[in-house]
Structure 1
Amino acid sequence: MKAQSLSQRLNLAIVGITLATLILSLVFVFAAYGLLFQFAPKLISAENALFPAPVEWAIYSVCVVLGSIAASVVATRVARRMVEPLETLAEAARAIADGNLSARATLVAPAPTEASQMIADFNAMADRLEKAVDDIVTWNSLIAHELRTPVTILKGRLQGIAEGVFQPDPALLQSLHQQADGLARLVEDLRVVSLLDSGRLQLRPVEIDLASEIEGLARLIERDLDKAGFGLRMTLTSGRCVADPVRLRQAVLALVDNTLKYAEPCVLEIAARVSDAEVVISVIDQGPGMPEGFTKRAFEPFRRAEDVDGKSGSGLGLAVVRGIAEAHGGEVTYERRDGLSAFTIVMPRMNRSGLGAE
């Protein structure tokens, strides 16, 4: 049966109290008259009397008082049932205001619909608040940890150059440039993950040729792949779709970087196809892949393979990929295929605004 709303229960309580007072008073009156007729009929007023006898006035008064007391008892119980949810909510709110973010409102008995929903919403809000505070502490610690290494290296090298310990030759300058580039990419990943987490990442979807975008990106990464001992094979199906080309390239580049960090040198394959309904982009390498216990957490921020196999990384790349895919209304998955590791982005061919591709 559907629970009654708070206003309905209040109205019913008021009506019930009124009726209970009247009914109980009448019951007491009938009971008193019955006793008088049985044991003291002379005390009852005559049939043609204009006013009740004094004893009858006393009976009426006592019966009204007894009926009111009985109705008040019932009203108190009903009011307590309706007020208890608000009291427990107020107590939890005061505890949170005092700094106890783990405090929650609890129901010990069934409550009106509005009160139950309000407590559920309050607890959900408290959960999000507690998680947000915990995330802030965790993120501050992790960000400081990730920034410490590149900043320390840059500071040490620059101080060495200033003091004449190091000569500013091309090799050293190239090393400094790489550290600065890595630092810039880390900051950008942090910014993107923060925007994604708050739901504020803005996409600029336009109609693009997916194969052309991937080919353009491949030309930019071929040199880095070659230096790391990787080959490149592309399996591209020409087709037009609607997406943010900058964010899409960022996601694919993050998957390629992930391969460079964790995979053994091999022929890296980038596959892309556009069907009537969706866009599929895969980055495939020859492993060794991720351990099974790590795959479910791999796309969370600051989750990195060094937790499992000792390799390095910021732990943000896959989180960025997941966020960009979800911002396009899609998803990213990981699986092992015949000994190969495959990351696959699947998203609608048409973006959320309804802009389509011909």
Structure 2
Amino acid sequence: MKAQSLSQRLNLAVVGITLATLVLSLTFVMVAYSLLFEFAPKLLSAEDAILPGPVEWAMYSVCIVLGSIAASVVATRVARRMVEPLEALAEAARQIAGGDLSSRATLTSPAPTEASQMIADFNAMADRLEKAVDDIVTWNSLIAHELRTPVTILKGRLQGLAEGVFKPEPELLRSLHQQADALARLVEDLRVVSLLDSGRLQLRPIEIELASEIEGLARLVERDLDKAGFGLRTVLTSGRCVADPVRLRQAVLALVDNALKYAEPCVLEIAARVSETDVAISVIDDGPGMPESLKARAFEPFRRGDDVDSKTGSGLGLAVVRGIAEAHGGQVSYERREGRSAFTITLPRKC
């Protein structure tokens, strides 16, 4: 049954009360006059009398009382149906204000369209509030966990240098620089994920030649790949698209970094395809593949496989990739291709 709006219910209630009063009054008068004409005609006022007689006044009084009772009953039921959603909403709001974020407004009977929509919107807002609070608690814990290791290492090494336990040798200084670099990247990833989550990441899209951008990026990462025992192959299709080149490079670098951390040394392939409607950038490696238990949530922040050492990475890289893709109106996906792992960023071409 389709719910009625509040204005429709009010109109119907007023019309119903009026009609009920009129019908009841006419019915009572007709029945009363019929009985009086039949059994006590002398009680009726004379035909030429201007004012009603006492008996007629009594009939009118009884009619008014019965009509008022009927109108009150109908009005009370209508008012109750309208006030109930507001009471449910107020009670849920009081519980949430008191700290019970799981409280929701519920209806025990059908309500006007506006009231039902207000209840649904309130519950959706409460869901988001509860999730936001839970996320804050979770993020604080995870951030503290991720920052603890690099900060502890830096603190211990610097204290050792200050106390003369370690000598300021180039190898130690390089190690400290690597820890500081990892810490800086972690902070930047956290910043990007936070901006993405709040919808405040600003893109500066321009028209770019995709193949040239990817080729330049490949040359930048080639040395790091070579040091890690990886080869590099690019399969690029020429074509122009509209995207933020800085954020696009950041996303592809995150996929390359993901391969360096989790895949076995192999020939890493970076492919770019341009069609009439979209573009696709893939990073393909010979890694062991993603566990089935991780696939559904791999692109969420701080997600890692159960068999992955937490020291390997922060678990933010794929979340950054997903966020950048979605900010462009696209998406990122993972699949196995002929025994290889392929991460693909798909974006609308828009040019």
Q: TM-score range by the shorter chain?
A: over 0.9
Distance 1:180 1:260 in 2: 19
User: How far off its partner does 1:21 sit?
Assistant: 1.8
What's the offset of the Cα at 1:49? 1.5
Q: Distance in 2 between matches of 1:277 and 1:59?
A: 81
Structure 1 distance, partners of 2:9, 2:298, is 50
Deviation string, structure 1 residues 136-185 (Cα, Å, up to 9, x no partner): 11001101111111111111111111111111111111111111111111
Question: Contact 1:208–1:242 (CA<8 Å) still a contact in 2?
Answer: yes
Quote the residue 1:353 is aligned against. Answer: none
Match of 1:171 in 2: 171
For residues 212-250 of structure 1, give each alpha carbon's deviation from its aligned partner in whole angstroms, at most 9, with x where no partner exists. Answer: 212222222122212211111111122222111110110
Counterpart Cα distance in 2 of 1:201 and 1:147 = 23
Once residues 96 and 24 of structure 1 are traced to their aligned partners in structure 2, the CA distance between those partners, rounded to angstroms, is 47
Give yes or no for contact 1:236–1:272 (8 Å, CA) kept in 2: yes
Distance 1:267 1:322 in 2: 24
The residue number in structure 2 matching 1:11 is 11
Q: Say which SS state the counterpart of residue 279 (structure 1) adopts.
A: strand
Tell me the equivalent position of 2:318: 318
| Structure 1, unaligned runs of 5 or more | 351-355
Q: Distance in 2 between matches of 1:183 and 1:162?
A: 21
CA distance in 1, matches of 2:94, 2:34: 56
1:232 aligned to 2:229? no
Tell me which residue corresponds to 1:257: 257
2: CA distance, partners of 1:163 / 1:30: 110
Structure-2 residue corresponding to 1:117: 117
Cα separation, 2, equivalents of 1:152 and 1:310? 17
Which residue number in structure 1 is paired with residue 54 of structure 2?
54
Query: What is the alpha-carbon distance in structure 1 between the residues aligned to residue 75 and residue 101 of structure 2?
Result: 35
Distance change >3 Å, CA 310–CA 147, structure 1 → 2: closer
Aligned 8 A contact 2:272 2:279 in 1: yes
Matches within 5 A, 1:92-171: 92-171=92-171
C-alpha separation in 2, matches of 1:123 and 1:82: 18
User: Counterparts of 1:85 and 1:329 in 2: how far apart (Å)?
Assistant: 38
Task: Give the corresponding residue for 2:25.
Answer: 25
Between stretches 191-200 and 66-75, larger displacement belongs to 66-75
1:208 to 2:203 alignment: no
**Contact 1:28/1:67, CA 8 A, preserved across alignment:** no
**Percent pairwise identity:** 84
- CA–CA distance in 1 between the matches of 2:73 and 2:79? 10
Aligned length: 350
Are residues 1:67 and 2:67 paired?
A: yes
- Amino acid across the alignment from 1:212: S
Distance in structure 2 (CA, Å) of the matches to 1:190 and 1:207: 28
